[in-house]
Structure 1
C-alpha cells in the first residue's frame, strides 16, 4: 500500500489545490471546488482566499 501525499494536482483550474485535496481523499474535484467556493463566499471570501494561497505555497507539486 503506497503512502498518500497531499500534493498539488495536475487536474487544476488555477493552481491545483482543490484537485490535490480531491485526489488525496478520493473525492470529485468538481465537488471540492464547489464546496470551497460556497465556503469562501459565505465567509466573505477573505479567509477562503487566504487558506487557498497558504495551501498553494505549502503543498508540494506532484512528481
Structure 2
C-alpha cells in the first residue's frame, strides 16, 4: 500500500472525515474508497437484476395470487 496521498482537497477531506467518522487522512481515503467500491458493486448487482427481470423471471411475483 502506498502512503503518498498526493495533493488532496483539504475541505473535501475534512467533510469526508466528518461523514465517515475517521480521524486520519489515510483512514478517510480508505473509507471513501471502500464506500465507492461498495456502491459500484451495488450498481452492478442492480443492473444484473434488471436484466433478469427483463426476461420475465420475476413475473410470477407480480401476480397477487402468488403472494403469501
Q: State the TM bucket, normalised to the shorter chain.
A: 0.3 to 0.5
Taking structure 1 as the reference length, what is the TM-score of the superposition?
Answer: 0.34
Task: Give 1 or 2: higher helix fraction.
Answer: 2
Answer with 1 or 2: which has the greater Rg.
Answer: 2
